[in-house]
Structure 1
Amino acid sequence: MIGLISATAAGAAARDRLAAAWPERTRVYDGPARDAVRAAFAECEQLVCFLATGAVVRLIAPLLSDKASDAGVVCVDESGRFAVSLVGGHGGGANDLAREVAEVLDARPVVTTATDAVGVPGLDTLGLPVEGDVAGVSRALLDGEPVALRAEVSWPLPALPVGAEGAYTIRLTDRHLDAVPEREVVLRPPSLVVGVGASRGAPVEEVLGLVEAALRDAGLSARSVGELATVDAKAEEPGIVRAAERLGVPLVTYSAGELARVAVPNPSGAPLAAVGTPSVAEAAALARGGELLVPKRKSERTDGRPAMATCAVVRRPARGRLAVVGLGPGARDLLTPRAKAELRRASVLVGLDQYVDQIRDLLRPGTRVLESGLGAEEERARTAVEEARRGQAVALIGSGDAGVYAMASPALAEASDDIDVVGVPGVTAALAAGAILGAPLGHDHVSISLSDLHTPWEVIERRVRAAAEADLVVTFYNPRSRGRDWQLPKALGILAEHRAPATPVGVVRNASRPDESSRLTTLAALDPATVDMMTVVTVGNTATREIAGRMVTPRGYRWQESRPKPPEHPEHPEHPKHPEHAETTRHPEHAVNKEESR
C-alpha cells in the first residue's frame, strides 16, 4: 500500500489525482503532516509526500531503521514538477515509484542513486538474495575498477561491467559460506529444489529441521532454495505448508502419476501404497530435471519413534531467458516501456546491425552485442536461442512487432521448453502507416508480404487473390526491391480485377522516422516504381473513401450516411429505438459494439 500525505490545497489536488489513478494501491492520510507521516510509515510499504524534501527528511528521520526494511519515500513539490526519490530507492522501491508518479502527474522523476544514474543495475535490485560488501563492489563498478564475476552456477543476470579478473568479485553461488571475503558480493540464485514427503501430522519442526540439516551437511545455502516440492496428496499437509512459509518459498505439487514416471535411485513401497508413487521426495525434486545433490534422507527423532519426513535436494538446470522484442517502426516514442525494460534487463543482445544502432544507447554497460547484417535471420535466431540455453538473459530484437514478418517465428522454431521465452509486442509498420494515412484498417484487413525469398510466388498470388475476392483491405509489406520489381504490379492487377480504379491507396515510407513521407493515391494512379522496401502500401476495400485528405474505411460494410433516414416515431418498426433493432439482435456487421467503440 502507498500512503499519500499532503499539507496544502495544491498538494491535495495532486494527491487526489494520484489516488484516482491508483485507487487499489493508495491510501490518503489526513490530519497534521507529522501524524500522517508517522502513521503511513508504520502501515504502508511506500509513501508519496506532497511536501518539501527538507520537511519530509525531518519527519521521517526518527522513523528510519534499516534500508532493507524501511518504506520507500517519494516527495512531490508544491507545483507538481518533480517526483524525488528520497529514501529507499532500491530496497523500498522509491526509484521505480518516482518514475511511476512522474508519469501519472506529468512530472520529472529525480533519482540520484549512483547505479541508476549511470545505468548499472544495483546489486541489491537483481531479485536475488545478496550478501557481502555491496557498497564497496558497487562503488568499484561505478568507478570502472576491475570486478570479476565468478559464476559457480549458471543463472540469467542483467548486463554487468565485469570481467574474468579483478580486485573485487561478484560471486554467484548456492554453496554455504561461513563468511564472505572482503571486497566480495555473493548473489544467491534460487537454484535448489527440495523435495519433501511427510506422514500425516508430521510437525513443522521435524520437516524444517530435516531440510536444514540436509542443506547444511551438503554445504548448500538455504537462501538458494527456490521451492519445496511434494505430491498433490500432501498439498495441504500442515508441516510441509508451514515449512515452505518459514523458508519463504512456494510449495509446488505434482500428481502421483507424474511422480511415478520420474526415475529415482531410491524407490520405496511405502509411498506407493500411501499415495500411489514409489517416490515422493526424490521424484518431486527431480520432476523438472536437474542434478541430485542430496538423495532421499529421513528425519531423525530423539523419542525413538519412526521418522515422519523425508527430503531430497536437486540443483535444477538454469533456465535462460529469451525476450523477443519488437522495437516499433523507428520513432523512440513508439518504443514501448516494456521493450525498454527488456533491453535493459538483457545481458546479451542479438539483432540486425541497423536495429541495434537504434537502441544502443538504451543498453546497460557490459551488454554483449551480437549483431549481423541483412539475410542472416535464421543465424540470429539460432544464436539467440543458444545463448539462452547457456543460461543468459537474451533480447532478440526486430522492427515493428517481432512476431510480424520478424524474428519471433524463426526463434520459436529453434527454441524448446528448456528456456523461458517472453514476447514483447511492438507497433507494427501497418499500424504506424495506418495512423499516418487516417483509418484505412477500420474494418477487416490483411497483411501480405510480396517477398518471394521465403514464400513461393504461387502461394503469395493465391493469398492476394483471396484477399481481393473477400474485399479485405490489404497492406503490402516488402512491396518492391531492385531485384523484385514485378511482384507489386502483379498484385495490384489482381486487386484491380475486383476493385474500382478510384479505390484509395496509401503509400507510407519510413513511417514515424525523421524522413517519413506519405501520399494518398488510387489503385489506377499508383506508380510501382515510386515504392521500395522501406515503404508500406495499403489498398482499400470497396467501401474505403478519401475524406478530407485522409484514407478511411468504415466499420460496417456501408457508410452510415448512405442509409435511409429512419422514421422519427420510436414505435415505428424501422426506427432505431424500436425493440426489434436492439444491439443484441442486429446483424453483427451493422451493430455498434460499445466495448469496441471505447
Structure 2
Amino acid sequence: MSQSLFAEFQPIAAIATTPAAAQTLQSICQATGAILWVPESLNYLENVQFYRGSLKSHIAAIWEDCRAFIFGLATGAVVRLIAPLLGDKYQDPAVIVIDETGNFVISLCSGHQGKADELTRALAIYLGGTPILTGASAGLGLAGVDMLGVPFGWVRGNGDWKGVSAAVARGEAVEVIQEVGSILWQNHLPKQHSFQLSPFPTPHSPLAARILISARVGHFLPESDLPTVQWYPRVLWVGIGCERGTSRELIERAIRETCRDYHLSEFAIAGIATIDLKADEIGIIELCGNGNLPLRTFSREILRSIKVPTPSEIVAAEVGTPSVAEAAAICASLTPLISHSQSSTKTDIPSATNFPTTSTKTDNPSATNFPPKSSTKTDNPSAAILVPKQIFKSENEPGAVTIAIAQSEIEYTGRTGKLFLVGIGPGQLEQMTQSAKMAISRADAVIGYSLYIDLIAAIFRPGQIIESLPITQERQRAIRAIELAEWGLSVAVVSSGDCGIYGMAGLVLEELKLRQWDGKIPEVEVFPGITALQSAASRVGAPLMHDFCAISLSDLLTPWEVIEKRVEAAAQADFVTAFYNPRSRNRTKQIAIAQQIFLKYRYPNTPVAIIRSAYREDEEITLTTLDKLLEIPIDMLTTVLIGNQSTTLYEDWMITPRGYLGFGE
C-alpha cells in the first residue's frame, strides 16, 4: 500500500483500547502511515505508541496536531471523547470510527472539509468493509456543495453554505451561475440533479438557493433572500510594474483598491506577473510569500511583443518594453499559449474552462484535444485585460507601483498533479490489489477504455471526473491524463491486467519523456495488477511453472516481421508462450502463422489453453492441442497459452513441470 495516497491527511492518529481493535488498526497504520496509540496495558504490542493517563486527556493533547483520527472504539464513546474539542467543520480534523472486526467504517466528523468521507471510502476498500456515510450529498451521488471547487483550487467565499447545502439535500432547484472556471464538474453530475446551470441570473425562475462561481463579487446579483454562496476560481493575474524599492504595503494597497474599484475579488487572484528585471524586487517577493502566490516573470522581448491598451514610450526607454504591468498580466493569463522557456514557471496547463462542452464518452473523442486551437485571446491578447494599468503613489512611502489585471481562461489550481498508473487485473474487483482500488478511489479523475471503466464503476465516488476513450485511442488517453495532471489534478489511468504489461504505463511515461518531464512534477506512481497471462494460467492449472514468455500478435504498433522472429525464437527455445491479442476482426492470419511456426518445433499434441475473458461473467475456457488450436473461436479478449515439451494435461488441468521430481531439468 502506498502511504502517499494518504499524504493530505497526515499526521494521522489511530486509537485502540482493546487487542482486537489494535490488530485491525495496525494493518491500517501500515497502509496509511498513521501512529497507533494504545494504553500501557497493551505494552506487549509492537510498532505502537503508549498513552498515559486518561484517553480523553491524551486526545485533547494531540487534537490540534492531527488532521485525521481513526478510532477503534464504540461510536458513542468517541462522540463523548471528542465533543468538547469540536469547533467548526472548516477546522475540525477528519474523524473515522471502525468496529473491531473492520466490517464497518463510519465517517463521523468533518466529512466534507476534513475529507472524512473520502478517507472512510478508502479505508473501507482497504478492509473490505462497508463505508457508512450519512451526509445527504453522498446519498444523492453528489460532491458536497462546499467541496465542489476543491479539485480545481477554487477559494470558498462567504455565504449561507448550510442553507444552500440543505436545499440541495432536499432536491430543490438551485441555480448555478458560472462565469469562469472549469466546467468539468458539470459534465459529471448524476442524471438526476436539481442544479439549474446558467451563465447569468434568472430572477423569475422559482429557486431555493443560488451558487455563484465568479471572479467578481456578487453585487450584480438581483436582490433576493435566497441562500447564496460563492466560489472564486483563481483566474486573475495581477501585472505589476514598480520603481525600485517600492514597499510591499504600497503594492498590497494598490491591489486591494483596484479590486474594490472594479468589483473583483482578491480571492480570485491566481498570481503575480512582472518583468524578469523585477524578479528580485523585495516588495514583490514579500507580497508573493505572504499571500502564497506564484510569481511569473517574462523577458522584455516577450513583453514588448504583446499589444496592450496603454503603452508608454517612457517605460519603453527605461526597461526596453512599452508595457510591464499590462503585458505581464496578459502573458501570465495566456500561459498555455507561451512556451515553457519563455516563462519562469510551468506553462503547459490545460484549458479546462470550456472543455468538455459535451460528454467525454466515446461519442466525442476529439473533445479531448485542448487547449482550444482557436481563441479570441490568441487573436487579440489585450482582450484578456479586465483592468488597464492603474498608477499608485503615496506621500508617506517611497516608490510607485503600476497595477493591471488580466483574466485567464484557465484557473490556477495551486496543486501538484499526480498520475496513478493502475492495473485493474482481469476485471473482478476482488482480483484487484487494495492499492489499485485505493488509487482509483482517491483520484480526482479516472481515465480508461470504456470496458475497463464499466468494470470498476462500483468504486467510483461522487464528484470524480470519469472519462473513457475508445480502445484505439490509447495515446489520446495518455495525453489527456498528463494534461489534467500538469494542471494539478490527481489522475488514475486504468489498464486491464497489469498496467506495465501491454498497458498504459509505458505510453504515459513515453509521453512524459517527450514533454521533457523532470521526473517529479507531476508525481507518478505505478500500481501493478494481475496480468492476463497470470489470470488465464490460474484458470487452467500451472502452465507457467517453468520459463515462459509473452508475445502480442498485434502488428498495429510492431512490424509483423519482428513479431514473427520473436515467435520463431520462443518456439525454438521451448518457452511456454502466452499470446496476447491473438486475433481481431480484421487481423486473422497471424495466429495461423504462429501455429505453423510452433508445429515446426513442438509436437502436434502439445497442450494449449484458450481462455477468453478470464474471471469475467462471459468467461470461456478450452483445453486443446496445438494442432487443433484454430478450431476454437479466438478474439482480442482471448489469451492463448501454448505449453512446452514437458507440459501435460491431467484431469482437465494444465501442468508444466518445474523439475522438482527429477525431470525437466
TM-score (norm 2): 0.64
Contact 1:5 1:49 in 2 (8 A): yes
Q: Distance in 2 between matches of 1:183 and 1:365?
A: 23
Amino acid at match of 1:332: L
Relative contact order (C-alpha < 8 Å, sep 6+): which is higher?
A: 2
Confirm or deny that 1:43 pairs with 2:136: no
* 1:169-248 alignment runs, 5 A limit: 169-178=210-219, 182-196=226-240, 201-230=245-274, 237-248=281-292
1:247 Cα shift? 2.9
1:245 Cα shift? 3.9
CA deviation vs aligned residue, 1:464-506 (integer Å, no higher than 9, x gap)? 2344236576543443467765432222213444556576644
SS at match of 2:640: strand
Alignment partner of 1:511 out of 614, 624, 649: 614
Distance 1:82 1:270, change over 3 A: farther
SS at match of 2:393: coil
1:105 Cα shift? 5.4
CA deviation vs aligned residue, 1:232-260 (integer Å, no higher than 9, x gap)? 665565533432343344x2445648855
Contact 2:215 2:265 in 1 (8 A): yes
Q: Distance in 2 between matches of 1:243 and 1:55?
A: 47
Q: Distance in 2 between matches of 1:315 and 1:532?
A: 52
Amino acid at match of 2:170: D
Distance 1:409 1:170, change over 3 A: farther
1:38 Cα shift? 0.9
Alignment partner of 1:531 out of 633, 641, 644: 633
Distance 1:344 1:423, change over 3 A: same
The residue number in structure 1 matching 2:178 is 151
Contact 1:281 1:296 in 2 (8 A): no
Contact 2:214 2:232 in 1 (8 A): yes
Confirm or deny that 1:63 pairs with 2:95: no
Confirm or deny that 1:53 pairs with 2:75: yes
Q: Distance in 2 between matches of 1:403 and 1:8?
A: 42
SS at match of 1:68: coil
Distance 1:219 1:323, change over 3 A: farther
Q: Distance in 1 between matches of 2:404 and 2:662?
A: 74
* 1:3-152 alignment runs, 5 A limit: 3-23=13-33, 28=49, 29-102=51-124, 107-126=129-148, 127=150, 128-131=154-157, 132-152=159-179
CA deviation vs aligned residue, 1:140-169 (integer Å, no higher than 9, x gap)? 333333334332124044323334476243
Q: Distance in 1 between matches of 2:291 and 2:232?
A: 14
Consecutive unaligned residues in structure 1, runs of 5 or more: 565-598
Confirm or deny that 1:448 pairs with 2:552: yes
Amino acid at match of 2:640: V
Which is further off, 151-160 or 438-447?
A: 438-447
Amino acid at match of 2:248: V
1:65 Cα shift? 1.9
Q: Distance in 2 between matches of 1:441 and 1:177?
A: 69
Amino acid at match of 2:254: L
Q: Distance in 1 between matches of 2:579 and 2:300?
A: 51
1:111 Cα shift? 2.0
Distance 1:10 1:325, change over 3 A: closer
Alignment partner of 1:464 out of 550, 564, 585: 564
Contact 2:247 2:399 in 1 (8 A): no
Consecutive unaligned residues in structure 2, runs of 5 or more: 1-10, 38-48, 199-205, 338-376, 378-383, 516-521
1:363 Cα shift? 6.5
* Identical aligned residues as a percent: 29
CA deviation vs aligned residue, 1:85-125 (integer Å, no higher than 9, x gap)? 21111112222233344455565432212212332111222
* 1:394-413 alignment runs, 5 A limit: none
Q: Distance in 2 between matches of 1:399 and 1:412?
A: 17
Q: Distance in 2 between matches of 1:115 and 1:19?
A: 29
The residue number in structure 2 matching 1:584 is none
CA deviation vs aligned residue, 1:426-466 (integer Å, no higher than 9, x gap)? 8554454355464749868444244x7x679xx42542234
The residue number in structure 2 matching 1:490 is 593
The residue number in structure 2 matching 1:330 is 427
* Cα RMSD (Å): 5.3
TM-score (norm 1): 0.70
Amino acid at match of 1:74: I
SS at match of 1:527: helix
